[in-house]
Structure 1
């Protein structure tokens, strides 16, 4: 079944909303409160209550006081916790990068805590309105429900302590960077494993394939792979996605190519295009490139005059170098099979190594070109990547082309003799990896000394 694009986009927005799990848990607590009331006065439950009467309330006034206090207190905790979330998001956007905000919003632990708060409030209120006076003059007290409400209140206190601890860690730049690094590295490793499990020797000549124009404008963020591959297998066709993930496309742009001309089959083209995802936010789970971008932007933000934290910039640079080394293990064109098929049905671009260098280091190079400490560490990061990429001609050439740009910036903006000597020493270590190109780099630098 092919769901309309609007439905899938709405579903994605819903599950990535800060209110998704709180809303879900609120419904669960509402159902549990109705269930509790429905079994509260059954004979078997009455016998159970008589055995545990020491922990049950037997006064309507006490029950109202306990439930009112619990509801009011948890409302205060909820307001404070939501306020803390907003402060953290604002601080993360200002001091780290606006792109890390979606990841913080969708953190499930925080959403579950907030959902438990809301659910406990709803449960307490349902119990409160079910303290009823009978015709005989007696009062029905949902004693078991009051006990559950009290337990939920105590759990909320424990969650509050956890929430304060977690939210204070969430804003620490080291924790944010480590989280981004781990998630990005996992995404790269997953692609590497898939390519090793399903190796391919050669690729078709995509230039001879037939173009399919986009009917949507926006940022291409992904594709429902299994759904699309099932359709391709059914129609016995293959598809190549010409644009890279995260790039902006406009209506009429030929962002797909097919090995058969299906332009006249409007219904099939519509089904194929419905499998593609367009939205604005950047989630690392969609593509590792977004993780690299977020780490790079944190480094750039750290170099701004208002923050001035070169240590964070250097740590970000080291993480980028490790991730780029991992990226070298992936082929530039990726592919997807359908289950046990021997030939790929869907081909798509990976962002090239050269583009990743440009996209992630250019903003940092421009903002840090006056800082000898950071520029020296960028050169060191490139040296470390060269150790891995030295036998990859394309990657090595990309690295040295970019190093030439770095040297030109250093020559223009760093004049202190001591700083230039440190940079010279770092450039000399590169000659140990690639003597010819390394010496050319040193000569280019020393011409301006």
Structure 2
């Protein structure tokens, strides 16, 4: 259900369709009401704000309909221009974000709804002799003002939305929600014992994927209850965001596997043609990393934007560290092991973010400083020694890259000062000087 709702909200037709339906119902209701009043001999002209005859009403409604269709094309063109600009400047992964932007969708819906409203009211003037829907015509005039305001708001919103700060803020908001939910922390109960539980001794049966696609959503509630009813242990082979090929192992099951259980496993792993964000924190990290890498390309050469992206990644990794590490072993309410769910590790996050940025930005002093600063900050809140060792390994990797990337004596001296500060903050032994001087 969550996947279906996300797909509907990500489409460009749902919200505009609701607006068009509402405007159509309003037009039909007003025209029908005025037709009934006209049949009873009630003079509705006294309710009009602007006195108008049939010819004037036709002209005004036709003008409104034509104008709405024109400005809808303009608004859609501006939105598509922003989409192309964002994809070229930052990342093509952000296309879904602009298509599902509610403000753009509401603006399109209001414009198209006003067009349909005007056409329906205009048609009623021609259908009944000597009938002019005065109230509906004046409402059309009011709706044209609403549509003009929606257009102005949309034209102001689109340029604001393509600023890198706005894009990163939106990604942060979505990804932070996924991290706080803490998959698989929200699945059943964690294994209560010490260490990892022993899996059943019998050979597991492999359930093969029926279709190919990216793992978009995992219906853990249904799968956990089914595993409990069937008295089996299920180990999923993939994490959210992985691409799964049809015919490859999807899950391993210890216990009796019938057609119903296999069908439940297949339906619990919702796959699609692209990654999505509701359960995939890695997708948000990849989007921000793409922005940093694109900013460091020779055609853009914008290290300041890359530095902003590094700060955003540090914020998200901090969110990950401040929460207790989620156990991969999930139990039912009785404490019986039912699911084994792979998850993103802190090591994977470092490799897929900071190391990717270092590969393209290791020759820029600003990027080196931002990465070292990120290591200092994350080390202070690391949950244990393994995570601190990972961050120290990243510092050593940055040092190794800097030895090859920089040749200027002034740059080497500056880099040495940065590493001296970092090692002092982390309480680590000094690294060899790159400048060759004590």
With structure 1 as the length reference, what TM-score do the two structures score?
0.86
Structure 1 CA distance, aligned partners of 2:261 and 2:127?
65
Once the two structures are superposed, what CA deviation does each residue of 1:241-297 show, in whole Å capped at 9, x if it has no partner? 2212111222332231334231xx123202320221112333322321111111111
* Maintained 8 Å contact 1:191/1:330: no
* Structure 1 range deviating more: 89-98 or 374-383: 374-383
SS, match of residue 431 in structure 1:
helix
Question: Is 1:297–2:287 an aligned residue pair?
Answer: no
| Pairs within 5 Å for 1:143-158 | 143-158=134-149
- Aligned counterpart, 2:85: 91
* Structure 1 range deviating more: 394-403 or 199-208: 199-208
* Maintained 8 Å contact 2:212/2:245: yes
1:430 pairs with one of 422, 425, 436: 422
- Aligned counterpart, 1:364: 357
- Aligned counterpart, 1:160: 151
- Aligned counterpart, 1:216: 211
SS, match of residue 228 in structure 1:
helix
Once the two structures are superposed, what CA deviation does each residue of 1:316-359 show, in whole Å capped at 9, x if it has no partner? 11111121122122425457777x77667544222110011101
* Maintained 8 Å contact 2:47/2:134: no
Q: Which runs of 5+ in 2 are unaligned?
A: none
Q: Which runs of 5+ in 1 are unaligned?
A: none
Structure 2 CA distance, aligned partners of 1:197 and 1:448?
58
SS, match of residue 305 in structure 1:
coil
Structure 2 CA distance, aligned partners of 1:315 and 1:133?
61
- Aligned counterpart, 1:204: 197
Change (3 A) 1:48 1:96: farther
Once the two structures are superposed, what CA deviation does each residue of 1:217-236 show, in whole Å capped at 9, x if it has no partner? 22212223344344334434
Structure 1 CA distance, aligned partners of 2:122 and 2:273?
44
Cα distance, 1:405 vs structure 2? 2.0
| Alignment root-mean-square deviation, CA | 3.1
2:110 pairs with one of 102, 105, 116: 116
* Maintained 8 Å contact 2:184/2:328: no
SS, match of residue 220 in structure 1:
strand
Structure 2 CA distance, aligned partners of 1:266 and 1:196?
24
* Structure 1 range deviating more: 287-296 or 226-235: 226-235
* Maintained 8 Å contact 2:295/2:306: yes
- Aligned counterpart, 1:101: 95
Structure 2 CA distance, aligned partners of 1:410 and 1:154?
60
Question: Is 1:354–2:347 an aligned residue pair?
Answer: yes
- Aligned counterpart, 2:66: 72
2:429 pairs with one of 411, 414, 439: 439
* Structure 1 range deviating more: 114-123 or 418-427: 418-427
Change (3 A) 1:332 1:373: same
Structure 2 CA distance, aligned partners of 1:46 and 1:363?
75
Structure 2 CA distance, aligned partners of 1:66 and 1:373?
60
Q: Which aligned runs of 4 or more in structure 1 are off by greater than 6 angstroms? A: 8-11, 44-49, 335-338, 446-449
Question: Is 1:310–2:297 an aligned residue pair?
Answer: no
Change (3 A) 1:323 1:444: farther
* Maintained 8 Å contact 1:408/1:445: no
2:409 pairs with one of 396, 414, 417: 417
Change (3 A) 1:172 1:46: farther
- Aligned counterpart, 2:316: 323
Question: Is 1:25–2:3 an aligned residue pair?
Answer: no
* Structure 1 range deviating more: 415-424 or 99-108: 415-424
- Aligned counterpart, 2:394: 402
Corresponding pairs, count: 433
Question: Is 1:255–2:225 an aligned residue pair?
Answer: no
Change (3 A) 1:111 1:81: same
Structure 2 CA distance, aligned partners of 1:277 and 1:268?
15
Once the two structures are superposed, what CA deviation does each residue of 1:77-129 show, in whole Å capped at 9, x if it has no partner? 10100000110000000001111111111111111110111111111101111
Change (3 A) 1:11 1:185: closer
* Maintained 8 Å contact 1:39/1:45: no
SS, match of residue 246 in structure 1:
coil
Structure 2 CA distance, aligned partners of 1:407 and 1:343?
47
1:384 pairs with one of 354, 360, 377: 377
With structure 2 as the length reference, what TM-score do the two structures score?
0.89
